[in-house]
Amino acid sequence: MIWALYDRIKETCPSVEVRDKAAVKNCILPLSLENVAAIELDNGDKIETSLVIGADGVRSKVRQAMHADYTAFNYEQCGLVATLVVETPGNNDIAWQRFCRSGPIAFLPLSHNLSSLTWTTSTDHANRLLALSKDEFVDELNYTMFTDEDQNDCVNKSLFAMSKLPFLSNDLAPTPQPPHVVTLQGDTRAAFPLGFGHTHTYVHPRGVLIGDAAHRIHPLAGQGVNLGWHDVMVLNGILGQAAAAGADIGNIQRFHN
C-alpha cells in the first residue's frame, strides 16, 4: 500500500518531495498563527510549514508537541500478526473472522495463496504462540480455526433447523470454509500490545492529528484503520475548502469548528 501511494504521488504530484532514510527528531508548533510550524529531522534538516499533519501513530511526536491531554489504558492483550500461505478450493477473496476462547482470529486475503493473520489474545498466550516452531504454530492455528469445541450447541441446532425450512433451504448457498493454512511466509510472526487511547483535542494552530495519533481502539473488525481512513477523507475536505477560499490552511481550528 505504501509503495502504491508513493507511485501515485510521483504520477500526480510532481512538486511533492518524499523524504526517506530520515526520522523526525522534534516537532515545533507555534502558540498562534503568527509563526510557522517546523519539523527537525535526525539528519539535521529543518522543514518549515504552514501545517503539520500528525499521522505518526500511537507515540506521536506531533501530539506531544501539542501538549494535548491524552487518555490511555491497556487491554492486557496482544495482536499477533503473520503472513500465511493458504490453500482454498475456490478464490481466496473472503475475509474471515472467528471468535474463539483464546480470542478472535482474522484472515484477510492478500492474493490467491496469501492471507494476513491477526490473532487477538492474552499477552501470555501470544508469547507462547511466538515460542512455537513454525509447524507447531500452523497446526495450532488450523486446529483453533476449524475445531467445533468453541461452537455453541444451541446456535448450531437453530441454524440447522432454519436450513430445513422449506422457504429457506432452496435459497441457501453451500457454506464456504476458511482457507487451510499450509505454512508461514518466512517467519513473519510478530506481536504488539493492544490498548485504548484518545486525544482530547485533534487540532492546534498549524497542527492536526489523524489516525492512531488521535485515537487508538481495539482492532476488532478493522475499525481502527477505518477510522483512520475517515480522518483522511474529512481532513481532505477541510483543506480543500481552505485552499478554495484562499485561506490559511494552518488555521485548522476555524475549519474544524
Amino acid at 183: T
Mean pLDDT value across residues 173-180:
79
CATH of domain 75-192: 3.30.9.10
- Per-residue pLDDT at 125: 96
Instruction: Write the pLDDT tens digit of every residue in 83-125.
Output: 999 999 888 999 999 888 888 999 999 999 999 999 999 999 9
Quote the cell numbers at residue 3: 509503495
- Per-residue pLDDT at 126: 97
Q: Which of 10, 11, 61 is nearest to 37 (CA)?
A: 61
Mean pLDDT value across residues 5-14:
90
Assessment of whether the complete model's pTM goes beyond 0.85? no
- Per-residue pLDDT at 151: 66
- Residue 46: band (very low, low, confident or very high) from pLDDT cuts 50, 70, 90: very high
Instruction: Write the pLDDT tens digit of every residue in 207-226.
Output: 999 999 999 998 876 788 88
Contact 83, 184 (CB under 8 A): yes
Structurally, what CATH architecture does the domain formed by 2-69+200-256 represent?
A: 3-Layer(bba) Sandwich (3.50)
Map out the domains of the chain as residue ranges: 2-69+200-256, 75-192
